Structure 1
Amino acid sequence: MRANRNQWLATRDTGIGASDIAAVLGISPRDSPFSYYWRRQLGTAVEQTEAMEWGLRHERTIADKFAENHPEYVVKPGGLYRHPEHRWMLATPDLLLHSVNPDHTDALAQIKTTRSWDGWGDPGTN
């Protein structure tokens, strides 16, 4: 599993994805365009924290529960996708959601876990 993750991270480093774009635009609370640029130039990876590790460990369980709670979708694992024309543009959704109702739109899902409610807003406001 670790080898696959390292290969995925190396491929992700060949473009700009959703995790990067806030830093590129200067709106990230954790990263600046300058630090992002130099991290990419030097080839230094973001060190995985314990919280990040636990988030990855729980991802499959959360995806399974989402699928159980949403029978209106056929839930499939996501992956790493590259725009056919703008090769620098990447997307790495966690899940692909195919609607069983042809009148509804397919969707993507990104799974996130948190250890606190800080910064997530009041219930029902999202």
Structure 2
Amino acid sequence: MNRTDPTSARPGARKNQFLLLLILFLDLVGFALIFPLVPELLDFYRRGVPGQPIDTWFLSINDALFQLLPLDRRSHENQIIIMGGVLASLYSVLQFMAAPYWGKLSDRIGRRPVLLVTSLGLALS
């Protein structure tokens, strides 16, 4: 057995590495695939039906952010840019908040069950 090759200890290690890299790649592609559509979707929801929850949420976030930023509040383009940034960063913020939970759970019950559950959740989403 060659001690310099870390995968020589276990014959299935290469297969597991490939599977993990494939899952990571698909996760990143799935996350980035929608980016070109975000401005159109946000414009659609910005013009949505008044009084709907998404409209109220959109306007309240916009009002709060425009108080902090020196941008023209009437510009629809600025509203879409700000909301696109909020939604894109929300994914990372929630991932940051959930990582300690999943890490602690994987320490307690093992990495494999946690990876299977999170991969299943990703597939269902």
Query: TM-score scaled by structure 2?
Result: 0.28
Return the structure number with greater helix share.
2
Higher Rg of the two aligned structures: 2
Return the structure number with greater strand share.
1
Query: TM-score scaled by structure 1?
Result: 0.28
